[in-house]
Each structure stands twice: as structure tokens, then as C-alpha cells.
Structure 1
Amino acid sequence: MKYRQLTKEQFESLHNEFAQFLASQSIDVKEWTTIKKEKPKVAEEEMNIFSDIVWEDVLTKTNYLEHFSETTANLFKCEDNKIHRIAIKINWDINLLEQKGFEWLMQNPMDNSVDIFMGTKNYDSDRNKEIFDLIEKGSSISKGEIFEYFNQLVT
């Protein structure tokens, strides 16, 4: 397995897609029920294959990620061959996880208490694996508005 198995909730929200996936392998509902009961390892493998397909599709379409903590923000732009990062550190008692703290940052991005660092690197290995790793470490897929806002301020 390249990534991780989807959660129960993710499988439930992708119920129709999973049914189509099974149908593409000539597995109907009755047969799937039998497989789950009598061959749980085969059922697990089918779920793993489907999970990898879903993750691969989602990760390939991912262009931006963001990760916030109380005093830092890491914003990523994921291109085909390289990833750009804007790291923001707040040097006073503010919580970016709260609406008030986030709004303060967006209104005061050039304040003396705000340090902004930028960097770009080529992917060390597989692009989608690196993006997946960032998601597993707490990053969220975003539309990139915050990245582009700070990118325009500092370039």
C-alpha cells in the first residue's frame, strides 16, 4: 500500500465510487458481502487498492497546503517538480488558531513581530508521497489564497 487506507467515514462518503470500483472488477454486492465474511484479507486488499487510487487522485490535484499552530503558519505551493514554502512566525503571545489571532496576522503581515521566510526545493522522492506526508503531519489542502497573499507581499 502506497498511502493509508481511507477512514470508515471516507469510505462511507465514497460509497458509490467504491461500488463502481468493485463493479469494475465484476464484484457485486452479494459477492462483496461473501468476500468480507469468508476472505477478510481479500476484502482488506480491495479496500487498500481503492484507497490508493483515491489518494493518488486527490494528491495529484493538490496545489496548496497549509499548516497552522498557535504562533506559526506554514504555507505550501505544490508544483509538478518543486514545492514552495512560506513560513511565518509570530514573536508575541497570539494564537493563529483563533479567529482573532488569524485576523490580526492578515491585517498586520508586515508587523515587526512577524518573521516571514521563503524557500523552494525539489521533491526528494515522489511528489504525491511528500504531499501525503505533509497531510499526515497535520497540513490541510487549501485553495492557496493565503499563500498567494503572502507571496505577493514578500516578492
Structure 2
Amino acid sequence: MKYRQLTKEQFESLHHEFAQFLATQKIDVNEWNNIKETNPKLAEEELNLFSDLVWEDVLSKIEYLEHFSKNSINLFKTEEESISRIVVQVHKEVDLLSKEGYEWLLKNPKDDSVEYFKGNKEYQTNRNEELFDLIEKGSQISKGELFEYFNRLTS
């Protein structure tokens, strides 16, 4: 397995897609129920294969990621061969995880307590695997508004 198995909730939300996946392998609902009962190892392999396909599709479409902590925000813009990163670091008693702290930053982006770092690096392994690792560490997929805002502000 390349990534991780989808959660029960994720499988439930993708029920129709999973049924189509099984159908491409000529497995109908009765046969699937039989496989689950008589060959749980094969059933697990099918779930893992489907999970990898879903993750691969999702990861290949990601353009931006963001990760918030109490005093910093990591913003990522993904390209085919490299990833750009903007780190927004606040050296003040401001909690960026709170609505008030986040709003303070947006109103005071040039405050002396706010520091910016920018960088770009080529992927060390595989693009999607590196993005998956960022997600597993707490990053969220975003539309990129914050990245582009801070990129303009720091250019």
C-alpha cells in the first residue's frame, strides 16, 4: 500500500465509486459480500488498492496546502517538479489558531512581530508522496488565497 487506507467515513462517502471500482473487476455486491466473509485478506487488498487510487487522484490535483500552528502558518504551492513555501512566523502573544489571532494577523501583516520566510525546493522523492506526508502531518488542502496574499505582500 502506497498511502493509507481510507477511513470508514471516507469509504461510506465514496460508496458509489467503490462499487464502480469493484464492477471494473467484475465483482458484484454478492461476490463482494462473499469475499469479505471467506477471504478477508483479499477484501483488505481490494480496499487498499481502492484507497491508493483515490489518494493518487486527490493528491495529483492539489495546488495549495496550508498548516496552522499557534505562532506560525506554513503555506505551500505545489508545482510538478517543486514546491514553494511561505512561513509566516508571529513573535507575539497571538494565537493564530483562534479567530481573533488570525484576524489580527490579516489586519497587521507588516507588524514588527511578524516575520516571513520564503523558499522553493524540488521534491526529494515523489510529488504525491511528499504531499501526502504533509497532509498526514496536519496540512490541509486549500484554494491558495493565503499563499497568494502573502506572496504578493512579500514580493
Name structure 1 gaps, 5 residues minimum: none
Between the aligned partners of 2:117 and 2:110, the Cα distance in structure 1 is 12
Identity of aligned residues (%): 63
Letter matched to residue 107 of structure 2:
Q
- 1:11-50 to structure 2, matched below 5 A, reads 11-50=11-50
Post-superposition CA distance 1:96-136 (Å, at most 9, x none)? 11111101111111110001100000000100000000000
Scaled by the length of structure 1, what TM-score is found?
Answer: 0.99
Letter matched to residue 80 of structure 2:
D
- 1:6-155 to structure 2, matched below 5 A, reads 6-155=6-155
Between the aligned partners of 1:45 and 1:110, the Cα distance in structure 2 is 52
Between the aligned partners of 1:18 and 1:140, the Cα distance in structure 2 is 24
Between the aligned partners of 1:122 and 1:91, the Cα distance in structure 2 is 29
Letter matched to residue 22 of structure 1:
L
The offset of 1:54, in angstroms, is 0.3
Q: Secondary structure at the match of 2:115?
A: strand
Scaled by the length of structure 2, what TM-score is found?
Answer: 0.99
Between the aligned partners of 2:72 and 2:41, the Cα distance in structure 1 is 43
Letter matched to residue 105 of structure 1:
L
After superposition, the CA RMSD in angstroms is 0.4
Between the aligned partners of 1:112 and 1:135, the Cα distance in structure 2 is 31
The offset of 1:77, in angstroms, is 0.2
Letter matched to residue 78 of structure 1:
T
Letter matched to residue 6 of structure 2:
L
Q: Secondary structure at the match of 2:124?
A: coil
Find runs of 4+ consecutive structure 1 residues off by over 2 angstroms: none
